[in-house]
Amino acid sequence: MATELLSPLLPQRQGALAVVVAAPLLALLLAVVFFSRSPVAAPVSESSPELVDLILLAGAQEKGAVCLDGSPPGYHLRRGFGSGAHSWLVFLERKMTNFGSSKYMTAVNLNGILSNDHIENPDFYNWNIAVIRYCDGGSFAGDAEGEDLDGTKLFFRGLRIWEAVVDELMVKGMDAAKQALLTGCSAGSLAALLHCDNFRGQFPHEVSVKCLSDAGFFIDEKDLSGERSMRSLISGVVHLQNVREVLPNNCLQKKDPAECFFPAELIKSIITPTFILNSDYDSWQIRNILAPNGSYPGQAWSSCKADIRNCSCTQIDVLHGFKKKLVSELKVAEDNNDWGLFIDSCFTHCQTPFNITWHSPISPRLGDKSIAEAVGDWYFGRRQDVKLIDCEYPCNPTCSSLLPTA
Ligand SMILES: *[C@@H]1O[C@H](CO)[C@@H](O)[C@H](O)[C@H]1NC(C)=O
Ligand SMILES: *[C@@H]1O[C@H](CO)[C@@H](O)[C@H](O)[C@H]1NC(C)=O
Ligand SMILES: *[C@@H]1O[C@H](CO)[C@@H](O)[C@H](O)[C@H]1NC(C)=O
């Protein structure tokens, strides 16, 4: 459905050839990442302990801070309590609601790093939790307008949504924060990197502010056929949505804007302490960057993409190559004392918003730490130099096949 919605916009901007290449890829980013069900918006059981209401942004239209279809953006806010009353965690959602519209957003159930249960979430359970819903199709970074083939106006206002929602949160008490953490997963995690220093800048110097990127470390790697599918996809979004403003200047001087949108470039200019959490056999990246449909003959990779346990030795070797590249691109983070890393070799994608991955008896562990423990150790400085990088798949016995892969 995203292809129908967005590919008609490309011809005017990029020429026919680019459209042929970019349209299926746009569908990937805008459909796979955004148009599926949200992890926090998954159907919840009646007995669910904490459904958190949707709040629509006030004055959205006047600020031009609107979803793809012009509807006001939405977010969820659960107030902190006790020692967490002045601590704020802002989470940028990863999957876009249907048709990029808040008309389809509902209350959500918050798990993992967003849970208010201290067993599930030992360090952040009593913080103020703000979850900003995703409806702009461009990682909260664009500022443009477009038109669908039938003349329907489309709004690419991710940057304005980011700014307006943060302003509203400040009015609702975030201005008095004593500590804060900006995070998100997948496309939302890329957004957390893009806006990390801007978020830091909202607070006085003495406030502790850090960023956590979960499953957003997309790498600029060629696919199996040697094409740069991911870069073409990013290039489409960068041009369609006009995201230049949030990209680092020192990168833009040397490289194409699409290259500057990749985390490997972004992390070179981020000055706020940041934690990178990612699997180096990330299921989304393997399916969509390394082995997208059409990049290999027939069904050769279908079963391996569906379940890493079904990969042949030759395929595993290719995946090891992907891991090597991803880890090498993290060098900047590895060398920075204030930064943290948790790079596990489990076949999964997004590990903070689920109980099972974040902190449970079967969550992935590195150095005997769950992700929640490692992130907490880093955030609160309980341990120096939290830089955990896993060995090659299938070396880690804590990688469960029950982990979510989409
Ligand atoms: C890729 O192909 C598989 C199997 O043919 C299909 O189920 C899947 O939806 C396709 N993925 C995309 C992103 O088109
Ligand atoms: C993985 O391999 C097993 C055993 O050969 C098979 O039963 C299963 O269907 C395969 N899974 C996928 C997703 O192809
Ligand atoms: C996650 O943990 C919370 C708190 O124990 C529980 O209420 C919730 O049902 C769990 N969510 C899932 C999806 O298992």
Domain boundaries of the chain, sorted by first residue:
54-389
Find the angle CA(231)-CA(32)-CA(288) to the nearest 5 degrees. Answer: 45
Q: Known catalytic residue: 186?
A: yes
Cα–Cα distance for residue pair 396/189, rounded to 1 Å: 25
pLDDT in tens, 239-255: 999 999 999 999 999 99
The order of strands in the sheet holding 128-132 is 55-56, 74-78, 128-132, 87-92, 179-185, 208-214, 274-279, 340-344, 387-389
What is the atom index within ligand 2 of the atom nearest the CA of 302? 14
Q: Which residue has a Cα nearest atom 12 of ligand 3?
A: 355
Using the mean position of ligand 2's atoms as its centre, give its distance from the Cα of residue 303 in Å.
7
Q: Which residue has a Cα nearest atom 11 of ligand 1?
A: 293
- For the ranges 5-9, 106-110, 381-385, the lowest mean pLDDT is seen at 5-9
- Is pLDDT at 19 greater than 50 in this prediction? no
Cα–Cα distance for residue pair 20/16, rounded to 1 Å: 6
Question: Does the Cβ of 23 fall within 6 Å of ligand 1?
Answer: no
Using the mean position of ligand 1's atoms as its centre, give its distance from the Cα of residue 293 in Å.
6
Using the mean position of ligand 3's atoms as its centre, give its distance from the Cα of residue 401 in Å.
19
The answer to whether residues 86 and 207 touch, using CB atoms and an 8 Å cutoff, is: no
- Is pLDDT at 21 greater than 80 in this prediction? no
- Is pLDDT at 22 greater than 80 in this prediction? no
Span 216-239, average pLDDT: 96
Length of the chain: 406
The answer to whether residues 22 and 38 touch, using CB atoms and an 8 Å cutoff, is: no
Question: Does the Cβ of 306 fall within 6 Å of ligand 2?
Answer: yes
- The pLDDT value recorded for residue 20 is 27
- Is pLDDT at 309 greater than 90 in this prediction? yes
Catalytic: which of 102, 186, 295, 370?
186
Question: Does the Cβ of 3 fall within 6 Å of ligand 1?
Answer: no
Q: Which residue has a Cα nearest atom 5 of ligand 2?
A: 310
Cα–Cα distance for residue pair 75/176, rounded to 1 Å: 20
- Is pLDDT at 97 greater than 60 in this prediction? yes
Which one of the ligands is nearest to 121 CA? 3
- The pLDDT value recorded for residue 98 is 80
Span 331-350, average pLDDT: 97
- Is pLDDT at 365 greater than 80 in this prediction? yes
Residue 49's pLDDT band (boundaries 50, 70, 90)?
low
Q: Known catalytic residue: 118?
A: no
pLDDT in tens, 280-294: 999 999 999 999 999
59-85 core/surface letters (b: 16 or more CB in 10 A; e: else):
ebeebebbbbbbbbbbbbbbebeeebe
Which one of the ligands is nearest to 111 CA? 3
- Is pLDDT at 169 greater than 60 in this prediction? yes
Cα–Cα distance for residue pair 160/122, rounded to 1 Å: 33
Span 87-116, average pLDDT: 93
Cα–Cα distance for residue pair 240/154, rounded to 1 Å: 11
Span 59-76, average pLDDT: 97
Question: Does the Cβ of 28 fall within 6 Å of ligand 1?
Answer: yes
- What pTM was computed for the model? 0.90
Catalytic: which of 349, 360, 377, 390?
349
Residue 183's pLDDT band (boundaries 50, 70, 90)?
very high
- The pLDDT value recorded for residue 96 is 80
Using the mean position of ligand 2's atoms as its centre, give its distance from the Cα of residue 139 in Å.
34
- Is pLDDT at 41 greater than 70 in this prediction? no
Tokens of 4: 């129908």
Mean pLDDT of the chain: 89
What is the atom index within ligand 3 of the atom nearest the CA of 42? 13
Cα–Cα distance for residue pair 51/45, rounded to 1 Å: 10
Using the mean position of ligand 1's atoms as its centre, give its distance from the Cα of residue 180 in Å.
39
- The pLDDT value recorded for residue 294 is 96
Which one of the ligands is nearest to 26 CA? 1
Q: Which residue has a Cα nearest atom 11 of ligand 2?
A: 303
- Is pLDDT at 369 greater than 60 in this prediction? yes
Half-sphere exposure of residue 326, counting CA atoms within 13 Å on the CB side? 30
Tokens of 68: 């793809």
Q: Name 105's Cβ contacts closer than 8 Å, sequence gap at least 6.
A: 41, 54, 74, 97, 133, 135
Cα–Cα distance for residue pair 224/297, rounded to 1 Å: 10
Question: Does the Cβ of 111 fall within 6 Å of ligand 3?
Answer: yes
- The pLDDT value recorded for residue 406 is 87
The answer to whether residues 264 and 324 touch, using CB atoms and an 8 Å cutoff, is: no
- The pLDDT value recorded for residue 39 is 38
Tokens of 117: 């249960």
What is the atom index within ligand 3 of the atom nearest the CA of 112? 1
- CATH 3.40.50 at 54-389, yes or no: yes
Catalytic: which of 136, 220, 282, 377?
282
Question: Does the Cβ of 303 fall within 6 Å of ligand 2?
Answer: yes
Q: Which residue has a Cα nearest atom 7 of ligand 3?
A: 49
Q: Known catalytic residue: 349?
A: yes
SS (H, E, C) the chain: CHHHHHHHHHHHHHCHHHHHHHHHHHHHHHHHHCCCCCCCCCCCCCCCCCEECCEECCCHHHHCCCCCCCCCCEEEEECCCHHHCCEEEEEECCCCCHHHCHHHCCCEECCHHHCCCCCCCCCCCCCEEEEECCCCCCCCCCCEEEECCCCCEEEECHHHHHHHHHHHHHHCCHHHCCEEEEEEECHHHHHHHHHHHHHHCCCCCCCEEEEEEECCCCCCCCCCCCCCHHHHHHHHHHHHHCCHHHCCHHHHCCCCHHHHCCHHHHCCCCCCCEEEEEECCCHHHHHHHHCCCCCCCCCCCHHHHHCHHHCCHHHHHHHHHHHHHHHHCCHHHHCCCCCEEEEECCCCCCCCCCHHHHCCCCCCCECCECHHHHHHHHHCCCCCCCEEECCCCCCCCCCCCCCCCC
- The pLDDT value recorded for residue 197 is 98
The percentage of the chain sitting over the pLDDT mark of 90, rounded to a whole number, equals 85
Cα–Cα distance for residue pair 329/339, rounded to 1 Å: 14
